[in-house]
Chain A
Amino acid sequence: MTLPPNRPERDTDWIDRALDDLAAMPVPDASGDLMARVLGDAEALMPPPGGVQAVRIPLWRQIVQGLGGWTAVGGLVAAAATGFVVGLGGFDTTGTDTIWSLGYGTFYEGEGALAAFGWDFEEG
């Protein structure tokens, strides 16, 4: 990079000259030994013909990845389990059918008897 003639000297013009001096220094051609070393490295590191084979991922891992990873799968499992339990008890929203199915019928009978006792008492 040469400076234009008749231009006033700037503070950094000497830096231009210093850099140009560095750029103009003779540089030897790359030696045959260097080229051979570089080619040797290239051959040692060269992937097999066709390139690096894609790693085969098992189907179940592809599905997990497709669903968003293990965290997402955990959430899905928890949601499914909750839905199953809620679904089991869903045929009676008060939950009494579930309680009946578990054998608590005597409790309701006792409650009924107590109510009847109350009516009897009021009627004298």
Chain B
Amino acid sequence: MPLDTDPQTDDAALLARYARGDAAAARTLTVRLVPRVQAQAMRMLGDVAEAEDVAQEAMLRLWRIAPDWREGEAQVTTWLYRVVSNLCTDRLRKRPRSRVPLEDVAEPEDPTPSVEAKMQTDARRDAVRRALADLPERQRLAVMMRHFEGASNPEIAARLGISTEAVESLTARGKRALAQALKGQVSALGYEG
């Protein structure tokens, strides 16, 4: 798959070209957006096959909405970020609970990665993902944009169309809610002290 052949053109303009039947615009958007979308889904789900399914579904929704897309109302990347977040949240909520409780996974004794160490890391990440999925949408988006993308408060504010103060409040409330949800598992998560 070639690199982005049209880096000067923004996503909304490419989407408008796709809506007029421009196949090259579809290729450029695919190259540009799919890696981001897949990475976000992978972080949220921790499963390659599921992340790919979510990425495909999110892009499918983008192709469908292209003829009705109104430039200037939202950024394509923000719209996709939200779609991916919601698709992943739906999957996480339907996913059966981990077969091995976090508390039952033995703490590894030596630093060499072992099966137990991997299991503990997976269980720890799974617990955080589930807690993240239970957050209200805007808190979840703000926390994810901050931590997964390293976005600053003003950047998040611009993308979500809210004030910087609102972003600070959302992320603070989101983290408090996460701490509350995971309160009983701090030790098992390996974050105590």
A contact set with B: CB distance below 8 Å: 1, 11-12, 14-23, 25, 27-35, 37-39, 41-43, 45-52
Q: How many A-B residue pairs have CB under 8 A?
A: 126
Q: Chain B binding site: helix, strand, loop or mixed by DSSP?
A: helix
Within 8 A of A (CB), among B158-193: 172, 175-176, 178-179, 182, 186, 189, 191-192
Assuming the contacts A25-B46, A39-B26, A46-B21, asked whether A18 and B63 have C-beta atoms less than 8 A apart, the reply is no
Whether, in the assembled complex, B23 has its beta carbon less than 8 Å from a beta carbon of chain A, the answer is yes
Can you name 14 extra interface pairs (CB under 8 A) apart from A18-B178, A27-B42, A34-B56? A12-B176, A12-B179, A15-B179, A18-B124, A18-B191, A19-B143, A19-B147, A22-B125, A30-B55, A32-B1, A42-B23, A42-B59, A45-B60, A51-B21
Closest to A33 in B: B52
A3 smallest CB distance to B (angstroms) = 12
Assuming the contacts A19-B128, A19-B143, A28-B48, asked whether A35 and B34 have C-beta atoms less than 8 A apart, the reply is yes
Whether, in the assembled complex, B30 has its beta carbon less than 8 Å from a beta carbon of chain A, the answer is yes
B52 smallest CB distance to A (angstroms) = 5
B141 smallest CB distance to A (angstroms) = 13
Asked if B34 and A34 make an inter-chain contact with CB atoms under 8 angstroms apart, the answer reads yes
Whether, in the assembled complex, B119 has its beta carbon less than 8 Å from a beta carbon of chain A, the answer is no
Closest to A26 in B: B42
* Cα(A38)–Cα(B52), bound, Å: 10
B183 smallest CB distance to A (angstroms) = 10
Asked if B146 and A1 make an inter-chain contact with CB atoms under 8 angstroms apart, the answer reads yes
B contact set with A: CB distance below 8 Å: 1, 18-23, 26-27, 29-31, 34-35, 38-39, 42-43, 46, 48, 52, 55-56, 59-60, 63-64, 66-67, 124-125, 128-129, 143, 146-148, 150, 172, 175-176, 178-179, 182, 186, 189, 191-192
B43 smallest CB distance to A (angstroms) = 6
* Cα(A11)–Cα(B172), bound, Å: 11
Taking CB atoms, residues of chain A closer than 8 Å to B35 are 29-30
* Cα(A46)–Cα(B20), bound, Å: 8
Assuming the contacts A12-B176, A34-B52, asked whether A22 and B148 have C-beta atoms less than 8 A apart, the reply is yes
B189 smallest CB distance to A (angstroms) = 7
Asked if B59 and A23 make an inter-chain contact with CB atoms under 8 angstroms apart, the answer reads no
Taking CB atoms, residues of chain A closer than 8 Å to B176 are 11-12
* Cα(A39)–Cα(B34), bound, Å: 10
A84 smallest CB distance to B (angstroms) = 46
Closest to B27 in A: A39
* Cα(A22)–Cα(B26), bound, Å: 31
Asked if A12 and B38 make an inter-chain contact with CB atoms under 8 angstroms apart, the answer reads no
A21 smallest CB distance to B (angstroms) = 7
Assuming the contacts A1-B146, A12-B179, A25-B43, asked whether A50 and B20 have C-beta atoms less than 8 A apart, the reply is yes
